[in-house]
Amino acid sequence: MKTLIIYNSKHHGNTKKIARAISMVLEADLVKPDEVDITSLSTYDLIGFGSGIYYGKHHKSLFDFVAKLTNQKGRKTFIFSTSGIKKISFFNEFDKPLKKKLLKKDFSVIEEFNCRGWDTYPFWVKPFGGISKGRPNEKDLENAGSFARELKKEYLKTI
Ligand SMILES: Cc1cc2nc3c(=O)[nH]c(=O)nc-3n(C[C@H](O)[C@H](O)[C@H](O)COP(=O)(O)O)c2cc1C
């Protein structure tokens, strides 16, 4: 299962830690959006997209990257993110905008992962060191590893 993970982790490197934990399980290649050779995408069985959440969605660079792609004919993909606040169903579904964009390009989105990441952006959180301090923590990294193992099982069921 040849896997590529495309990630951007600008704020505190939070998502990079998750990207690494997933890539260790999947033995994936790890790249930033501006490093991807688009012609090589067709050589991958599975492609992951991840970043911190910025104003309610993934980083713009991922949207810009996906916009450049042609129809992916059902290529399997997964999404992951880190966010200052907890993701809650029906309230702040951070993954939805990127998922929608991927579906428009005919990707098949098989799994999603989110955990909290240290956030010092809002001015009012700065005096006390930010929110979700220390995240992702060891437990989050373990969860990311378990997510990757499940993802592998899910993928194998689909082929
Ligand atoms: C400009 C900016 C906007 C952000 N917007 C949100 C947001 O809408 N919701 C949220 O939960 N966290 C938000 N955050 C916090 C980041 O999602 C969080 O810190 C994330 O872990 C950053 O990941 P990174 O270090 O990989 O870039 C924002 C952070 C920044 C810098």
- Where does ligand 1 bind, in terms of residues with CB under 6 Å? 9-15, 52-56, 82-85, 117-119, 121
Q: Measured from the CA of 53, which atom of ligand 1 is nearest?
A: 17
What was the pLDDT predicted at 39? Answer: 93
Q: Domains of the chain by range and CATH?
A: 3-158 (3.40.50.360)
pLDDT of amino acid 88: 83
24-54 residue pLDDT tens: 999 999 999 999 999 999 999 999 999 999 9
pTM equals 0.96
Atom of ligand 1 nearest to the CA of 7: 26
**Ligand 1: distance of its center to the CA of 46 in Å?**
26
Strand ranges (E), 16-58 = 29-31, 46-54, 57-58
CA distances from 142 to 85, 120, 148 (A): 19, 24, 10
Structure confidence by residue, pLDDT tens digits, 76-124: 999 999 999 998 887 789 999 999 999 999 999 999 999 999 999 988 8
